[in-house]
Structure 1
Amino acid sequence: MKNLYLPITVDHIARVEGKGGVEIVVGDDGVKEVKLNIIEGPRFFEAITLGKKLDEALAVYPRICSFCSAAHKLTAVEAAEKAIGFTPRDEIQALREVLYIGDMIESHALHLYLLVLPDYMGYSNPLRMVNEYRKEINTALELKNLGSWMMDELGSRAIHQENAVMGGFGKLPDKATLEAMKRKLKEALPKTEYTFDLFAKLEQYEEVEGPVTHLAVKPRRDVYGIYGDVIKASDGNEFPGEDYREHIKEFMVEHSFAKHSHYHGKPFMTGAISRLVNNAGTLYGKARELYEGHKDLLGATNPFANNLAQALELVYFTERAIDLIDEALARWPVKPRDEVALKDGFGVSTTEAPRGILVYALEVRDGKLNYADIITPTAFNLAMMEEHVRMMAEKHYSDDPERLKFLAEMVVRAYDPCISCSVHVARL
């Protein structure tokens, strides 16, 4: 029958955070339309914090997500400090980055082992893998628990951290706890290297090979990391993070409660692979060695490389956290917090959350929040993610529909989306 358009639908993408689906419309002559239907209900975190006292607003933001609550809290705190003209001491910044790395370790371990690996091992969920892949599941839980414990010690709790405040921390763990954290990180290094070796053997589907523009935060001090004030693109362009609105445009699409984003009029990608594409030259240690030996698997043209990039970052950030703890211990005892004076101002923080660039723009007036704009990695990624699902569909639309659904979900999972984070609305 000619011109018969049939939808292939995934109502709920499994093993991702939040509620989203895929709709692929196929006709007799190919793929007609691909939609990532983000149907998580709108959330109003920017709007509900307007008019609140600044510290009260900062306590709300980590509630945006339990997967990356430390990322939200620390990025918001830095934006607020920039707005009021405060710069934290180096040792405070080092310990904040250790807290952020705890988030990175926990999130990457959960994504790789419990969300991605079942696809490759032929299981519908990780619980079914326990008997045959007990080592992998134990490794996932050990790394996850390490990251969670780091956030608990430095952030006062594993999720929705309250201990990171303007001026520093409410309190700091004692020296013995930081030394124990360093020991545990050293013990975890072989597990991170095992993770990299495991994911280096997994397929990266050639169906989605193609040019991709990657954006990442340019790290401070020219050391691969999380914090930076400049956004770097793989097309050679760089711009101050505070100018993000001049280069990245958000726009509404009918099928999604989350906006899509374009960089200079085109979809783009952000995340672990984007950090490597732009900043691999700032790696050091074992991670640098692994990167040099696997460049062919960590290129810019395939979203599935994001999985291996996260595995490489597990190695790197474990080593980096050890060095940052040493940096803080060299100045011990560390005063937890400096007093801050609230002033009117506007500040933008751009950091690297587990899933990519996270932007917070905050304006403070009379000690209260007057303006807030938050853009999350998933909101940045959705347009490119949809394009990669289209590429996969164009290669497999005539296959068994169940096979196409499976491959489409795999593409989405490679991005490690955090759907709930992506659906904010700034105005009621």
Structure 2
Amino acid sequence: MKNLYLPITVDHIARVEGKGGVEIVIGDDGVKEVKLNIIEGPRFFEAITVGKKLEEALAIYPRICSFCSAAHKLTALEAAEKAIGFTPREEIQALREVLYIGDMIESHALHLYLLVLPDYLGYSSPLKMVDEYKNEIKTALTLKNVGTWIMDVLGSRAIHQENAILGGFGKLPGKETFEKMKEELKKILPLTEQTFELFAKLEQYKEVEGEITHLAVKPRNDVYGIYGDYIKASDGNEFPSEEYKEHIKEFVVEHSFAKHSHYRGKPFMVGAISRVVNNHKLLYGKAKELYESYRDLLRATNPFANNLAQALELVYFTERAIDLIDDALAKWPIKARDEVEIRDGFGVSTTEAPRGILVYALKVENGRVSYADIITPTAFNLAMMEEHVRMMAEKHYNDNPERLKLLAEMVVRAYDPCISCSVHVVKLL
């Protein structure tokens, strides 16, 4: 039969944050159309902070997402401090990085073990894995709990952190708490290495192999990390964070409440694999050893390598947090906060959230936010993600529809999307 168009639809992609679906339209001679339908309603988290006092806005931004609230808080905080012309002391920046790493550990552990691993083991839910894979679930929760505890201690709560404030922290825990934090991180280091070895064994589907342009923040101080003032692309280009709109273009697509993004007119990728591709020379310690041994699996050409890159980062950021705490203990006692003067200005911060580049641009006038623009990793990734779902569909459109649905969802889950974060509207019309 000619011109028969058969839609294969996943109304709700399971085991991702937020509401999104996949629609694959198949004709008699192949795939006709692929859409990632982002059905999460428009969110006005930028617009609702315009006109609010800067401190009030900074309390709102981490509530954008419970998965990566520390990332939102700390990126917004840096953008605000840049806007008012304030630079925190090095030790404050280091302890904020430890707080951010808590978010990274928690998020990567949950994604890898509870969202990705069930697909490879043949389960629809991590809850169904408990009887046969108790050790893996225990590892996931142990890693997650350490990350959560770090955020609770330094951020005052596990989500929607309030303790990171303009000028530093509201308060800092005692020296003995940091010593305990260091010991807890040392305890989980073997678990992070086991995690990497486990995920190195999982298949990276060749159906989606192809050239990918990767963007990542260029880390400060020549150390693989989270903060930076430039964005670096795998094509060799780099540009100041303040110029993000000149190089990355957001645009509306009909089938999504979230915009898509292009770099130099094409889709691109951000995330753990993008960080590894662009910044692997800055790795050190056990993570560097693992990278050198498994670099063929940490490929720039396959989105499934993002899972292994997250596992590598679990090793790296655990080691990095230990080193940062050691440095802080050597400088003890540390003053929690310096006084700041809120002046008019404009600031842009680009950091590496668990899922990739997070951009905050804030303008401050008369102590209030007069402009805000926030672009999240998933908003950057959606166009590339949709292209990879298409590539998978083109190889498997003749398969059992349930098999195709699973493979399409696995592609999406490899990106670790945070769909709720991706839907943003700067202006209320």
Q: When the two structures are superposed, what TM-score results if normalisation uses the length of structure 2?
A: 1.00
Alignment of 1:379 with 2:402, yes or no, is no
Report the CA distance between 1:178 and its aligned residue: 0.3
Alignment of 1:280 with 2:305, yes or no, is no
Distance 1:224 1:156 in 2: 26
> Structure 2: which amino acid aligns with 1:240?
P
Distance 1:414 1:102 in 2: 21
Runs of at least 4 residues off by over 6 Å: none
1:348 is matched with: 348
1:198 is matched with: 198
1:113 is matched with: 113
2:210 is matched with: 210
SS at match of 2:296: helix
SS at match of 1:160: coil
Q: How does 1:30-69 map to 2 (within 5 A)?
A: 30-69=30-69
Report the CA distance between 1:313 and its aligned residue: 0.2
Q: Percent identity?
A: 84
SS at match of 2:18: coil
1:236 is matched with: 236
SS at match of 2:302: coil
Distance 1:327 1:176 in 2: 14
Alignment of 1:187 with 2:187, yes or no, is yes
SS at match of 2:41: coil
2:251 is matched with: 251
Distance 2:46 2:114 in 1: 31
SS at match of 1:179: helix
> Structure 1: which amino acid aligns with 2:183?
R
Report the CA distance between 1:273 and its aligned residue: 0.0
Q: How does 1:340-419 map to 2 (within 5 A)?
A: 340-419=340-419
Distance 1:195 1:119 in 2: 16
Report the CA distance between 1:327 and its aligned residue: 1.2
Distance 1:3 1:241 in 2: 48
Deviations 1:219-264 (A, max 9, x none): 0000000000000000000000110000000000010000000001
Distance 1:109 1:401 in 2: 30
> Structure 2: which amino acid aligns with 1:297?
L
SS at match of 2:363: strand
Report the CA distance between 1:50 and its aligned residue: 0.2
> Structure 1: which amino acid aligns with 2:65?
C
1:28 is matched with: 28
1:339 is matched with: 339
SS at match of 2:424: coil
Report the CA distance between 1:329 and its aligned residue: 1.1
Q: What is the aligned-residue RMSD (CA, Å)?
A: 0.3
Distance 1:328 1:370 in 2: 36
Distance 1:356 1:201 in 2: 24
Distance 2:327 2:299 in 1: 32
Distance 2:328 2:167 in 1: 16
Q: How does 1:285-324 map to 2 (within 5 A)?
A: 285-324=285-324
> Structure 1: which amino acid aligns with 2:181?
M
Distance 1:258 1:328 in 2: 41
Distance 1:97 1:329 in 2: 15
2:422 is matched with: 422
Deviations 1:370-391 (A, max 9, x none): 0000000000000000000000
1:141 is matched with: 141
SS at match of 2:8: strand
Distance 2:266 2:238 in 1: 16
Distance 2:121 2:314 in 1: 21
1:171 is matched with: 171
Distance 2:126 2:299 in 1: 28
Report the CA distance between 1:323 and its aligned residue: 0.4
Q: How does 1:66-145 map to 2 (within 5 A)?
A: 66-145=66-145
SS at match of 1:63: helix
Distance 2:203 2:177 in 1: 40
Distance 1:4 1:310 in 2: 41
Report the CA distance between 1:331 and its aligned residue: 1.0
SS at match of 1:107: helix
Distance 2:325 2:86 in 1: 23
Distance 2:187 2:291 in 1: 21
Q: When the two structures are superposed, what TM-score results if normalisation uses the length of structure 1?
A: 1.00
Distance 1:36 1:19 in 2: 11
Distance 2:380 2:356 in 1: 9
Distance 1:257 1:324 in 2: 40
SS at match of 1:12: coil
Report the CA distance between 1:424 and its aligned residue: 1.0
Deviations 1:10-36 (A, max 9, x none): 000000000000000000001000000
Distance 1:399 1:294 in 2: 32
SS at match of 1:296: coil
Distance 2:73 2:298 in 1: 30
SS at match of 1:45: coil
> Structure 2: which amino acid aligns with 1:260?
H
> Structure 1: which amino acid aligns with 2:64?
I
Distance 2:366 2:204 in 1: 52
Distance 1:254 1:359 in 2: 24
Distance 2:327 2:44 in 1: 39
Q: Which runs of 5+ in 2 are unaligned?
A: none
Deviations 1:78-129 (A, max 9, x none): 0000000000000000000000000000000000000000000000000110
Distance 2:384 2:148 in 1: 31
> Structure 2: which amino acid aligns with 1:313?
E
